[in-house]
């Protein structure tokens, strides 16, 4: 198994290198510069020129790329031009918010999806199955951002049950109340993300369980007199659940990509919102760092899923 993992990691290295080059060149190609807007419009053009030179923005691109990579390996992602603060610190403070939301949503997704998938498979072809399949069809079809906008309208504005902006209320005291406030702020996006993100897990679990129901070991269990509830609990569920665990990696990857929408709509200060702000301010250093981080997180999410799958299903290891 370690061979498979090692091989996967070997393939990842050139991918990350190409991504870093691509990201760097794209950021260089973006119009405008980070200084013109931020300094006094009456300032001397020579001063601007000097600033650009100080920051090495006139060097040839390969030189700039090389400097950037060297700094990267020293853990230095540069300074944010907009926030005047090291990018690493800026992003890590935002990343905590994004990861909390992603983790919360993933846990909730499984809480909703596992019983639904099991229940649908148990009553295959009957009314509950039809209802659950109809539900997954609806959640799968509607673009997620539309649902979020409607959700924040109904539950945030009209009913006023949930906060509509931020990650923590400004009056929260440190300690229990701040943790509670944080949870309160991720409740609505988390629940909506979970309710509308169940489709993959439900469909996969349903078909796994339906397959398992017809397999020989289940027939054996039944014929030796195992009670029906135990057949599901000990025989079917345990076997069908393992592949589902592998979805966790993909699920987090998907949530990260959706975080741009979720965070913009809920004005939730995570990495997605930081990205949109940085684009608007042409904050290159932040943009490049974020795209790179998201790319690497995508890779790690897929890798995690593949590792779980290869543990669960030995057939995948053969290569």
Partner 1 sequence: MEENLNKHSDVSAADLDRLNKEAQSEATPAAAKIIWDEFKADRPAMIALFIVVGFILFVMIGSLFINTPKMMETNIMNYNAAPGTSGFWLGADSAGRSIAQQLIVGARNSIGIAIGLTIISSVFGICWGLISGYFNGYIDWGMQRVYDFMMMLPMTMMIIVIVTIIKNYNAVTLTLIFSIFYWEGTSRLIRSRTLSESEKDYVAASKTSGTGSFNIIFREIMPNISSLIIVDTTLSFAENIGVETGLSYLGFGLPIQTPSLGTLIANANDPNNITQYWWTWLPAAALIIILCLSISYIGQVIRRSADASQRQGVSD
Binding positions for partner 1, rule: CB under 8 A: 11, 15, 18-19, 26-27, 29-31, 137-138, 140-146, 149-150, 152-153, 157-158, 164, 256-257, 260-261, 264, 275-276, 279, 287, 290-291, 294-295, 298-299, 302
**Nearest CB to partner 1, comparing residues 18 and 107:** 18
Residues 41/48, Cβ–Cβ less than 8 Å: no
Q: List phi, psi (to 5°) of 79.
A: -105, 145
**Nearest CB to partner 1, comparing residues 235 and 288:** 288
**Nearest CB to partner 1, comparing residues 239 and 264:** 264
Give the count of beta carbons closer than 10 Å to the beta carbon of residue 162.
Answer: 20
Nearest distance, CB of residue 23 and partner 1, angstroms: 8
Nearest distance, CB of residue 112 and partner 1, angstroms: 21
**Nearest CB to partner 1, comparing residues 108 and 148:** 148
Cα(252)–Cα(102) distance, rounded to whole angstroms? 6
Q: Which neighbouring-strand residues pair with 79? A: 86
**Nearest CB to partner 1, comparing residues 116 and 271:** 271
**Nearest CB to partner 1, comparing residues 111 and 142:** 142
**Nearest CB to partner 1, comparing residues 18 and 179:** 18
275 Rama sector, left if φ>0, alpha if ψ -120 to 50, beta otherwise: alpha
**Nearest CB to partner 1, comparing residues 32 and 227:** 32
Nearest distance, CB of residue 314 and partner 1, angstroms: 20
Nearest distance, CB of residue 44 and partner 1, angstroms: 27
205, HSE (Cβ side, Cα atoms, 13 Å): 31
Nearest distance, CB of residue 143 and partner 1, angstroms: 3
Cα(282)–Cα(280) distance, rounded to whole angstroms? 6
**Number of helices (H) and strands (E), helices first, in the chain?**
14, 2
Nearest distance, CB of residue 13 and partner 1, angstroms: 12
Residue with tokens 């510069």: 33
Listing DSSP states for 249-316 in one string gives HHHHHHHHHHHHHHHHHTT--SHHHHHHHHHHHT-HHHHHHHHHHHHHHHHHHHHHHHHHHHHH-GGG
Cα(182)–Cα(97) distance, rounded to whole angstroms? 9
Give the count of beta carbons closer than 10 Å to the beta carbon of residue 47.
Answer: 12
Nearest distance, CB of residue 167 and partner 1, angstroms: 18
127's enclosing H/E stretch is: helix 127-141
Nearest distance, CB of residue 254 and partner 1, angstroms: 11
Residues 301/250, Cβ–Cβ less than 8 Å: yes
């Amino acid at each position: 198994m370690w061979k498979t993992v090692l091989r996967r990691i070997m393939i990842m290295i050139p991918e990350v290198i190409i991504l870093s080059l691509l990201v760097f060149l794209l950021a260089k190609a973006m119009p405008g510069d980070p200084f013109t807007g931020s300094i006094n419009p009456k300032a001397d053009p020579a001063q601007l020129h000097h600033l650009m030179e100080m920051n090495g923005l006139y060097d040839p691109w390969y030189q700039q790329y090389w400097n950037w990579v060297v700094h990267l390996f020293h853990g230095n992602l540069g300074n944010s031009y907009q926030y005047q603060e090291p990018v690493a610190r800026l992003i890590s403070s935002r990343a905590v918010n994004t990861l909390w939301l992603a983790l919360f949503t993933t846990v909730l997704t499984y809480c909703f999806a596992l019983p639904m998938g099991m229940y649908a498979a148990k009553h295959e072809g009957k009314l509950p199955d039809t209802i659950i399949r109809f539900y997954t069809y609806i959640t799968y079809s509607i673009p997620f951002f539309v649902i979020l906008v409607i959700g924040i309208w109904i539950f945030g504005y009209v009913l006023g049950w949930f906060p509509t902006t931020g990650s923590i209320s400004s009056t929260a005291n440190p300690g229990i109340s701040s943790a509670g406030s944080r949870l309160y702020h991720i409740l609505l996006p988390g629940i909506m993300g979970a309710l509308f993100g169940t489709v993959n897990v439900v469909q996969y679990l349903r078909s796994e369980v339906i397959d398992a129901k017809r397999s020989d070991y289940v027939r054996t269990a039944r014929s030796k007199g195992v009670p029906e509830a135990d057949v599901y609990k000990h025989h079917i569920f345990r076997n069908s659940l393992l592949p589902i665990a592998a979805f966790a990696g993909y699920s987090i990857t998907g949530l990260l990509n959706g975080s741009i929408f979720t965070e913009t709509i809920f004005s939730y200060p995570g990495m997605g919102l930081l990205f949109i702000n940085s684009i608007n301010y042409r904050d290159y250093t932040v943009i490049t760092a974020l795209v790179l981080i998201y790319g690497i997180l995508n890779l790690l999410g897929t890798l995690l899923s593949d590792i779980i799958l290869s543990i669960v299903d030995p057939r995948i290891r053969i290569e």
